[in-house]
Amino acid sequence: MLLSNKVAVITGVNSGIGRKAAEVFAKNGAKIFGVDVRTDCMDNLKNVVEGFGSEFYGCQCDVRNAEDVKSALQKAVEHYGAIDIMLNIAGVSCDKPITRISEDEFGRVMDINVKGVFNFCKYVTSYFKKQKHGVIINTSSITALCGSGMGCPYPASKAAILGMSKTLAFELAPWNIRVNTVAPGVINTEMVSSLESSARKTFEKSIPLKHMGDAEDVANAMLYLASDMAKYVTATNICVDGGYRPSTVNL
């Protein structure tokens, strides 16, 4: 029980890596405050989390909206009494060549992926500073380090998260607040489930371990960073990618 009685706020909890992180954290004793703009799967997740003997509180929230974010964090504190861990997982992509990407599409990716993380980091920091401890884990991507075949807004947003997180780690260290990132590679989630079999095979060939990762692989890395096993780890990034490098894909 690595997170016994800890309270974790998790964005993007309705599906994918966010949902799996909620399950893995709950199995390890954390109380979950789940945030997502969608809520259709939250009742089911609540049952799963409670089945592990933990607690779940779901909250609809648009991460782009500062008032929504402040309200969500206030509800978390009112419900559980404190926040110990902040997981920023909510994100979207835009897989098009640059000539077909509109300003609105670029802005949407940046607003959700970057501004959303900024909002939660900004407002959870006030609570963490008062209690003089806290853990922030932000979700980047291997594409932030190596680029991608197309869809430049996504790697751009994930690279911004790396820079933001490292800076926050330095800024917040005096209050015993640790800030780290996890950079997933190609993971079996809704983002890649729509790929044709030929595209999946192309990806798998470019992964040294020869298969895509699972959401649980990413959640386990986050579990390590959130736990006291990583109490001396901050300002770092963990790649969970099977050795995958986008530049090795045949473009």
pLDDT tens digits, residue range 216-228? 999 999 999 999 9
Among residues 80, 127, 154, 244, the one annotated as catalytic is 154
Helix and strand element counts for the chain (H, E)? 10, 7
Share of the chain above pLDDT 90, in %: 83
Given this model, what pLDDT does residue 195 score?
Answer: 65
Query: Among 222, 146, 152, 157, which residue's Cα sits nearest to residue 186?
Result: 146
To the query of whether residue 232 is one of the catalytic residues in this protein, the response is no
The conformation of residue 58, written as its DSSP 8-state character, comes to E
Better-scored residue on pLDDT, 78 or 202: 78
Given this model, what pLDDT does residue 250 score?
Answer: 44
pTM of the model: 0.94
